[in-house]
């Protein structure tokens, strides 16, 4: 289990074997919803074909360009056996859709929680198997972390993750390009980090999220921590009162407006 997992919830057994040994070929993926085809690993040097995305996407997102008052709230490091179901109740009560970046070493103990996430319209993203520092890994290690978590999520839910978040945000530019090219994963970071992992208290978490929220923003929080979940009712209610609409990360990315093109020097001279 990850070292940051609460001791009282640690299972009595622990599989130390990697979920995907380097020499093991991944099994073919089952078909999913139309438009959400899954990555294949048999032709890693192909040019990007958007992997089911409707258009070319960026390799990194901290927010999107939009005039709409939409926002994505994302929860990392779960699923937690107690905190996550309680959070799901809060989201369901408010009809809010969220994105959960789950850790493979947590998924295998709580697959039923992932199934509930999908049933209630949430999105699940890849947060690796072991929650290690990807920036310090070889490309082989990176692929193994992502493939392993991808397959665990798929096995639990029948739905493949569309995006990934590197633990701690630790990732290199070259790795971002590799993940988009080979997996179809954009790297999702954040626009607001309340540093809830430092446990500043529910009121502080709420205040930081509210002050940082803006259209097209991505909120980072952790359902691993009880005080964070305690902060959610007030946070969600106040964001709703401000007119924000919550969407999943895939929805948010697909809503991004194209960048405004600057006129060329020739066009500017013609205007004169």
Q: For 227-232, which contacts have Cβ atoms below 8 Å and span 24 or more sequence positions?
A: 227/196, 227/199, 227/201, 227/202, 228/83, 228/196, 228/202, 229/83, 229/86, 229/87, 229/90, 230/202, 231/196, 231/202, 231/203, 231/205, 231/206, 232/87, 232/90
Of 51, 76, 80, 122, the catalytic one is 76
What is the distance between the alpha carbons of residues 73 and 240, in angstroms, rounded to a whole number?
12
Q: Which of 80, 122, 222, 225 is catalytic?
A: 222
Active site residue 122: no
- Look up 222 and say whether it is catalytic: yes
What does the buried/exposed string (b/e) look like for 198-207 if buried means 16 or more CB atoms within 10 Å of the residue's CB?
eebebebbbb
d(CA 76, CA 229): 12
Q: What are the backbone angles phi and psi of residue 70, rounded to the nearest 5°? A: -115, 155
3-state secondary structure of 201: coil
CA dist 86 and 230 (Å) reads: 9
Preceding amide of 192 cis, omega within 30:
no
Distances from the Cα of 50 to the Cαs of 42, 133, 161, 181, 183, in angstroms? Answer: 16, 26, 14, 8, 10
Using DSSP, state whether 255 is helix, strand or coil: coil
Write out the catalytic residue numbers. 76, 222
């Amino acid at each position: 289990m990850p070292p940051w997992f609460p001791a009282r919830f640690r299972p009595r057994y622990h599989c130390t074997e990697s979920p995907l040994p380097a020499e093991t070929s991944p099994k073919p993926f089952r078909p999913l919803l139309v438009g959400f085809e899954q990555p294949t690993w048999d032709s890693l040097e192909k040019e990007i074909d958007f992997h089911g995305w409707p258009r070319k996407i960026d390799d990194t997102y901290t927010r999107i360009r939009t005039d709409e008052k939409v926002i994505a709230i994302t929860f990392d490091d779960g699923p937690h056996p107690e905190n996550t179901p309680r959070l799901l109740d809060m989201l369901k009560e408010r009809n809010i859709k969220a994105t959960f970046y789950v850790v493979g070493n947590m998924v295998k103990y709580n697959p039923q929680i992932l199934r509930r996430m999908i049933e209630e319209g949430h999105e699940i993203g890849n947060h690796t198997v072991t929650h290690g520092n990807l920036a310090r890994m070889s490309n082989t290690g990176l692929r193994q972390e992502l493939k392993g978590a991808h397959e665990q999520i798929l096995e639990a839910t029948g739905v493949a993750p569309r995006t990934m978040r590197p633990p701690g945000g630790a990732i290199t530019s070259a790795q971002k390009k590799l993940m988009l090219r080979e997996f179809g994963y954009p790297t999702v970071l954040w626009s607001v980090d309340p540093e809830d992992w430092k446990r500043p208290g529910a009121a502080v978490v709420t205040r930081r999220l509210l002050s940082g929220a803006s259209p097209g923003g991505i909120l980072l929080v952790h359902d691993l921590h009880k005080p964070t979940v305690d902060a959610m009712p007030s946070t969600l209610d106040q964001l709703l009162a401000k007119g924000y609409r919550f969407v999943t990360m895939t929805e948010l990315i697909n809503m991004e407006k194209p960048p405004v093109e600057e006129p060329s020097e020739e066009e500017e001279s013609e205007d004169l």
